[in-house]
Amino acid sequence: MKGILAILLTVAFGLAVSADPGDQATAMWDQLLQKYVDDSGNVNYKGFKADPKFDACLEAFADQHPSVTWKESERMAFWINVYNAYTVKLIVDNYPLKSITDLKEPWDQQFINLKGNVYSLNHIEHKILRPVFKDPRVHFAVNCASYSCPKLHNKAFRAENLNSTLNSLTKGFLKDQKRNKINASSPQVSQIFDWFKDDFAEDGGVITFINKYSDTKIASGAELKYLEYGWSLNGQ
């Protein structure tokens, strides 16, 4: 009997260790995204605002905070999900509005409380996601609730497929003619590549990075032009 109990405890402990640390919040966020975000990234903010499950989802995120015991992929997926979920919250709390830029210092508001640790969207993006993980693909995963942003992915980010998801979103963003017009000699690309060009330096620079993920390749001597960024709300 003792032997059976020991085996059961070992199995239970193994499951607890291997479980996604933010799984409850992630699962709820995934359901909400699939319900209120279409394949083009257009968001039904009215739906989010009216659904009590969104508040429950945020409460679940608020009860989590990454620790050193989490894998790097778990931490990165968590922070991307938190950034996107709380961006939706910022819009929902002020809905209706035409643009996130109508709000006063939207990215510097200290309104994200995770187990007593308070963050702004800017802190998460510029103090955690960019410098800690050093993966420029993150720019195509976080969403700023605006038309020219990379679309809000309508599935939650998960550690087990994070790399393939980031690859897919990067390729999709580059292929999107509304946000990038890529050709060999006169490419017009998102201002993201101008604002954060230093982030792409480790991949050989912006053109090298784009050519890695784009079906259409840019000539090495081509001059990049940047499309005007549209800040209108990405609502349905």
Q: Report helix angle 23-36 to 72-93, nearest 10.
A: 50
Model pLDDT, residue 113: 98
Whole-prediction pTM value?
0.91
Helix H or strand E encompassing 76: helix 72-93
> What integer pLDDT is reported at residue 21 of this predicted model?
62
Q: Give the domain ranges of the chain.
A: 23-176
pLDDT in tens, the chain (236 residues): 444 433 333 333 333 333 456 689 999 999 999 999 999 999 999 999 999 999 999 999 999 999 999 999 999 999 999 999 999 999 999 999 999 999 999 999 999 999 999 999 999 999 999 999 999 999 999 999 999 999 999 999 999 999 999 999 999 999 999 999 999 999 999 999 999 999 999 889 999 999 999 999 999 889 999 999 999 999 99
Q: Are 45 and 35 in contact (CB under 8 A)?
A: no
pLDDT for position 23: 87
DSSP class per residue in 138-204: GGGTS--SBTTSPP--SS---GGGHHHHHHHHHHHHHH-TTT-B--SSS-EE-THHHHTGGGGGGGT
pLDDT of residue 4: 42
Residue 37 pLDDT: 98
138 CB contacts (<8 Å, ≥6 apart)?
76, 80, 129, 130, 166
Give the torsion sign (CA, 72, 74, 80, 83). Answer: negative
Torsion of CA 215, 219, 220, 223, to 10 degrees: -110
